[in-house]
Every structure is written in structure tokens, then in C-alpha cells.
Amino acid sequence: MLIAALWWAVKATIWRHDIRQRISSIRRSNPAALITSAQVSASTHRALRRIARESGGRFVRTGAFYSLVATPGELRLVGGANHPYTIASFPASDIRDGRIGKTSWVYVDYTTLFVGIKTAGTTFELPIRINGTGENAMFPASQAWAGSRWEKILQLLGADS
């Protein structure tokens, strides 16, 4: 029991360090970006795989924690630590809508942002488990905070959603 608790404490420290490194790398390359932390989800992987297959792109796994990065005209999912890599990138014109909801796994409820992405004539729903309230947060956000964050993302994107 003690070993398991120690293992999770070490793992959380590593994740927190990776998140901070990724944010600082993103900030160096794009200081105006709006960054939001997100968690892994099987439904996110499935949606990304479907979007990649439909658009002819390639599918990249997210990792345990990744960042949702909004810049003027583009929404990206970014993974990695010292050398961030783009998991997926969507121009503002492909973003159709978004809503905040809850998803559950076992006994945990997650605040989830459901983003409508249009590609190759089909609109897909991309679920993103949002963490809050900071850029490097590791715990689920409140629905109110996630809603206000989505509004800021839309303003930055300049999307008509």
C-alpha cells in the first residue's frame, strides 16, 4: 500500500514537471496563447482517430496530460515536455460549436468540453477533459470555470460558434 502511494506521488511530480516545461516552451514560442490543461480520455483518442482517418491526417496519442492551446485562428492539442509536439491542430473555420458537460469514469466525474470539429464534410464531437483553474492544473475544472474558459478561447479564435 505504501509503495503504491509512493509510486503515485512520484508519478504526479513527474507529470507536474512535464506540464510546467510544456507551458514554458509554448510561452516562449507564442506568448499570446491561451493554454488550458487537459487529461487523457479513451473517448478523446477515439474521436482523434476518427477525425484523422476522415481528414487523411495521422493520429498521435495524447499522453496522460496535454494542453489545449488557443491562438488567433487555430486550436491545437499539444503534448510533450521540453520539446512540445502537436497532437492535433484545427483552424478556427473548422470549429462548429462547443458545450460544457460531465463525463464519468468509475466514481470520478470530469468536466468535459465537447468541441464540434468539421472535417471532410462531417462534423465530429471531440471530448476534452478540462482541468482547472490554472494552466498547469491536474484536477478537473468546475463547469462554470470551463464555460468561461471556452468563451475566452472562442474570442481568441475569432470563431463564430
Residue ranges of the domains in the chain?
2-157
**Can you name the CATH fold of 2-157?**
PH-domain like (2.30.29)
Q: Provide the pLDDT for residue 7.
A: 74
pLDDT in tens, 100-109: 999 888 888 8
* 31-64 pLDDT per residue, tens: 888 989 888 888 999 999 999 999 888 878 888 8
| Beta strands at 95-105 and 108-119: parallel, antiparallel or unpaired | antiparallel
Full-model pTM: 0.83
Tens digit of each residue's pLDDT (9 = 90 or more) over 73-82: 999 999 887 7
Residue 75: CB partners within 8 Å, gap ≥ 6?
Answer: 68, 69, 89, 90, 92, 95, 115, 153, 157
**Under a CB-based contact definition with an 8 Å cutoff, are residues 87 and 52 in contact?**
no
CB of 113 closer than 8 Å to CB of 150: yes
Compute CA distances 146 → 32, 44, 46, 92, whole Å. Answer: 19, 17, 22, 19
At 144 the pLDDT is 92
Distance in angstroms (rounded) separating the CA atoms of residues 112 and 80: 21
